[in-house]
Structure 1
Amino acid sequence: MRYFLLALASGLLFSLGWPTWGFPLFLFIGFVPLLIAEREIRTSAKKRKGWQVLLFAYITFLTWNIIKTNWLWYSSEFGAVFAITVNSLLMSLVFLLYHHFAKRTTFFISTVFLTSLWICFEKLHLNWDFSWPWLNLGNGFSEFISWVQWYEYTGTFGGTLWVWIVNLALFKSYILYKEFKQKSILFRGSLKASVYILLPLIISLWMYNSYEEGGETVNVVVLQPNIDPYSEKYNVPNDEIATLLFDLTEREVTAETDFVIAPETVFADNERIEVFEESAITNRIRSFINEYPHLNFLSGVSLFKVFDDREQVTNQTNQFPNGLYYNTYNSAFMISDKPDMDLYHKSKLVVGVESTPYVGIIKPLLGDIMLDLGGTVAMKTTQEDREVFKSKNGAFATGPIICYESVYGEFVTGYIRNEANFLSIITNDAWWGETQGHKQHLSLAKLRAVETRRSIARSANTGISGFINQRGDVEETLAYNTQGALAGTLYLNDEITFYVAYGDFLYRIALFILIGVILIAFTRRRGEVGIE
């Protein structure tokens, strides 16, 4: 029962520390109960210790995953069960590896191993086919953005490292206290942990209060059509959608407006990619923006391409029963006074809904197991480069981030390296209803603003649409589940942050250290269980 309560306590602490209603100080003690349980199991005479560690770690991470990502259920019951149970298991396996490693080495080396391994695990979760980085530890500070202004140097892995350093300092103090029974050890340990928390916090608060936006500005209108994707979105012709978007635009647009931004796949009545640039809907948009000087109209659209040439088939290609092939795209496009349309295809896809993980292995075994998420089911085709949409005079350049892509820090830096001076996020966020899902998604966008020091315009179908400044503050919003348009002025920025230049360098350091401590552990005698 003691181990169960310790494991449960860790899960609850992480939940209490997580956005959007949590307080991140709880993250700094979240691992301590589970670490205590693991150590007591490891140093006991019990049998099947590894299985016990795996079980209690699973209780911790399952509790955290259920409480903070249960909103997935509203979009897909199977998807929620799969994501929650598998993610909890993967986190638990990291702890199991630490358990086996700690048995043969010192406290210091084993905890360095654990921290490095966890960072490498989070990096894996950013890049492999089963990507689900929602609960990466560095994301936990998104509602307290003034605490992590130094993310412009470290990205979210800096937050992950911060959480682990404090947890391990407190854990070490607990072990020493249990061994020597001196209350002064707890006092010194708490003081040291406080310094570890306060020093980065003070630096961040200084950066937050001293950071000033300046320079050129861009005038943006974001649209929030509030279309129900389950009953309306995929049944309304694009022409009717265009009329709605134009009506919303006219509420806020002026002769000074530079951009109008509409949500992801708002034009959901699939258009053929080969002729989309000259389609009826794009011609209507061109006619509309001709009434306003230098207006750029950015929106999401569903596109498709049908073909019979097998040489064009990729792992992202679908097939009709009649043998023809087709590609589908979740895309962003921009129409302006330039002669050619800008077009970008979403490249970080939602697992199951837009991509089948390891399709070469899974599809022959299980067939088409795509999850139904309100009509969007089909493998999507992606592109390699991060396209940047630029105005005709080149003064404005925006990175068109589509929905889930806004969760990925290093991915977003690709837009900045391609000269984006502000960012646009277009998303749906209607799938989860009035839950934490859409609130957490907005919250994570604030981290991208800090990492890149780019202002963000966010257009969400059902909300929350709004504007985020370069410090990560949400300045203005449209309430969830309302229809409307919002005008705002954003500062542009052409400077490159350290994080944009070097990306997830902390992961690369962690990987190097991980390999080093593994070599040390397996080339030395078994270490003592105590502190070294």
Structure 2
Amino acid sequence: MSLSFKDFANKPWVLTVLGPLLLWAGWPVHPAPAPLLLLVGLVPLLRLAQVLRAQGASGGRFWRWTYLYLLLWNVLTTYWVAYSTVGGGIAANVLNAALQSLPLLAFWHTRRLAGRAVGYLSFVVYWLAFEQLHLTWDLSWPWLTLGNAFAMVPGWVQWYEYTGQLGGSLWVLLTNLALFRTLFGSASVAPDQVSAPKSQSPATRWLLPAAAVAVPLLVSYLIGSRWQEKGPAAEVVVVQPNIDPFEEKFEGGARYITPLQQRERMIQLTEQTVTPQTKLVLWPETSLEEVHFENNLPLNPDVQRIRQLLLQHPGLRLMSGMTSVAEYPSKEAASPTARFRDDLGYYDVFNAALHVDGASGPLQVYHKSKLVPGVEKVPGWLNSALGTINLGGVVGSYGSQEYRAVFRSASAATDSSLRVAPVICYESVYSDYVSEYVRRGATLIGIITNDGWWSDSPGYKQHLTYGRLRAIETRRDIARAANTGVSAFVNQRGDIVQQLGWWVPGASRYTVHLNDELTFFTRYGELLGHAAQILAVLLLGLLVVRRFAK
């Protein structure tokens, strides 16, 4: 007996496997036109809810199928987290899928209690509200924010300068809803029908999903085709030392390279690449690995050696990742993340960025503040549950700071238009967070990272491409220095204009543009996310009223 499309579309297990496969196939680093699959990847999820509702399923049964759907998507897309630690990778995928299931469970109950129209509205609202929450709270892991999916095709989403990445999420959600209505609006799974008017012809019914796909693409083309690089030019160098984080970077590795040898490798690569026109050099995250006490930085041997390098190149500045320590005079003065040791007293350890302003200018330090959950920041109640998840950078419990620093030169002889945003590793995934640097005056985004933890996997490639979206949102050039995996330059349209290879040492030089104008998104931030959170609260309030009214 042959099976029809409708037979497959009525089977929960088919829908639960098909949806994650579509989402994975549309996700970076699959090239165009694969991201179009994101615009249909949630249709199986909506159909799954429709079928289960027709079968009289409970909320618990819906949650089990939904959780499996989300878990498969997480594993297919971010399995590489386990390349660092297997247990941590499993925990990250299992927990994130559980968190993602919460807005869908709320959608299920809202659909049941508030009807079809409000129910499908809540599907969009709850998901956007969750993504906004996932950008800000302690368990933040926004890697699978739907708007990130278009990082391989920046030409499709030039309007991110107005909406940010959540605009892409809204596009995915609305297009999937429109397509779901067209495909299954008259499906025979009563009572949950989403019927289109019977008078509509098939061509008319397909008009809405076609417009949902085409209009954003057309708008993006119109914006992108008119965009010109803005701001004065500046020559920048990024260094990729390619030090294996497992075998070479840290003491105890099989091919351990001392911090002095690591530093000299980066100096050699720098010397080989800079020219008299070079204004800035970027070294990767944790390039200066030995602990650097912040109250004594000017006398630190690493800093003094960098000063010697810069003395040979007047007008040159250098930004490097480092591990730093800040000591506190008393318990009362210590931060909430401070540790205690008898020989040090109260102190914080930071994954930091150091800015050396020429041979004699002031030193500036920024502390990484979007900390990797399970590695650099773990809520106390999750310590035992998560263990150690290694997602790049350094491992432990780290301090942070409340504001975004922008590295400027204090020298009148140095180009004042070159103001660098020190974005460390995981921070580059956060759109509004990166925009805060720009609101504070940054004209160039400098991303420093160590993506070698993830081996040769989609992980480092996804991390690179996500940065392209930050370029569009802020209309800033990006200079990206990775220990390995990979270093690159990105222009204000989100195009990768130059990059180094995977797992090779090297340095790259490029002339960036220093735009100082603010985009709509940079000025106003995640308006879509905040609006969705307000609507979500109202919808949940309606849900409570309907629940007790019955």
TM-score higher than 0.5: yes
The aligned counterpart of 1:388 is 406
Q: Give matches, 1:133-282, under 5 Å.
A: 133-178=142-187, 186-235=202-251, 236-282=257-303
Q: 1:525/1:478 Cα in 2 relative to 1: closer, same or farther (>3 Å)?
A: closer
Structure 2: unaligned runs, 5 residues or longer: 1-9, 189-194, 252-256
The aligned counterpart of 1:290 is 311
Partner secondary structure for residue 167 of structure 2: helix
Amino acid at match of 1:79: G
1:514 aligns with 2:542: no
**CA apart distance, 1:305:** 3.7
Instruction: Name which of 54, 64, 67 aligns with 2:73.
Output: 64
1:434 aligns with 2:456: yes
Partner secondary structure for residue 202 of structure 1: helix
Q: Give matches, 1:379-458, under 5 Å.
A: 379-391=397-409, 392-393=411-412, 394-458=416-480
1:190-228: per-residue Cα shift (whole Å, max 9, x none)? 221011110111010111111011331110010000001
**CA apart distance, 1:334:** 1.1
Q: Distance in 1 between matches of 2:543 and 2:401?
A: 42
The aligned counterpart of 2:7 is none
Q: Distance in 1 between matches of 2:215 and 2:328?
A: 59
Number of residue-to-residue matches in the alignment? 521
1:96 aligns with 2:105: yes
**CA apart distance, 1:322:** 7.8
1:263-303: per-residue Cα shift (whole Å, max 9, x none)? 00011111222212321111111111111120001111111
**Aligned 8 A contact 1:223 1:245 in 2:** yes
**Aligned 8 A contact 1:170 1:189 in 2:** no
The aligned counterpart of 1:351 is 373
1:338-384: per-residue Cα shift (whole Å, max 9, x none)? 63101101000111211122x3x456xx4995556799332111011
1:12-43: per-residue Cα shift (whole Å, max 9, x none)? 11111111115111111111111111112113
The aligned counterpart of 2:4 is none
**CA apart distance, 1:44:** 2.3
Q: Distance in 1 between matches of 2:327 and 2:441?
A: 33
Instruction: Name which of 492, 496, 499 aligns with 1:470.
Output: 492
1:479 aligns with 2:501: yes
The aligned counterpart of 2:512 is 490
Question: What TM-score, normalized to structure 1?
Answer: 0.93
1:121 aligns with 2:146: no
Q: Distance in 2 between matches of 1:516 and 1:491?
A: 44
Amino acid at match of 1:50: G
Structure 1: unaligned runs, 5 residues or longer: 528-532
Q: Distance in 2 between matches of 1:304 and 1:411?
A: 24
Q: Distance in 1 between matches of 2:496 and 2:280?
A: 19
**Aligned 8 A contact 2:393 2:449 in 1:** no
Q: 1:140/1:268 Cα in 2 relative to 1: closer, same or farther (>3 Å)?
A: same
Q: Distance in 2 between matches of 1:185 and 1:310?
A: 73
Instruction: Name which of 40, 46, 52 aligns with 2:51.
Output: 40
The aligned counterpart of 2:192 is none
Amino acid at match of 1:38: A
**CA apart distance, 1:234:** 2.2
Instruction: Name which of 13, 16, 20 aligns with 1:7.
Output: 16
**Aligned 8 A contact 2:158 2:223 in 1:** yes
Q: 1:183/1:142 Cα in 2 relative to 1: closer, same or farther (>3 Å)?
A: farther
1:503 aligns with 2:521: no
Q: Distance in 1 between matches of 2:29 and 2:391?
A: 24
The aligned counterpart of 2:191 is none
Between stretches 517-526 and 415-424, larger displacement belongs to 517-526
Q: 1:524/1:52 Cα in 2 relative to 1: closer, same or farther (>3 Å)?
A: closer
Q: Distance in 1 between matches of 2:392 and 2:521?
A: 36
Q: Distance in 2 between matches of 1:63 and 1:45?
A: 25
Q: Distance in 2 between matches of 1:261 and 1:378?
A: 24
The aligned counterpart of 1:530 is none
Amino acid at match of 1:383: Q
Partner secondary structure for residue 271 of structure 1: strand
Q: Distance in 2 between matches of 1:467 and 1:409?
A: 18
Partner secondary structure for residue 374 of structure 2: coil
Amino acid at match of 2:514: L
CA RMSD after TM alignment:
2.4
Amino acid at match of 1:32: V
Q: Distance in 1 between matches of 2:333 and 2:287?
A: 28
Q: Distance in 2 between matches of 1:139 and 1:37?
A: 24
Amino acid at match of 1:266: S
Instruction: Name which of 322, 328, 339 aligns with 1:301.
Output: 322
**CA apart distance, 1:9:** 0.9
1:53 aligns with 2:59: no
**Aligned 8 A contact 1:318 1:378 in 2:** no
Q: 1:319/1:352 Cα in 2 relative to 1: closer, same or farther (>3 Å)?
A: farther
Partner secondary structure for residue 103 of structure 1: helix
Partner secondary structure for residue 231 of structure 1: coil
Amino acid at match of 2:234: V
The aligned counterpart of 2:333 is 312
**Aligned 8 A contact 2:392 2:450 in 1:** no
Q: Distance in 2 between matches of 1:516 and 1:375?
A: 40
**Aligned 8 A contact 1:319 1:326 in 2:** yes
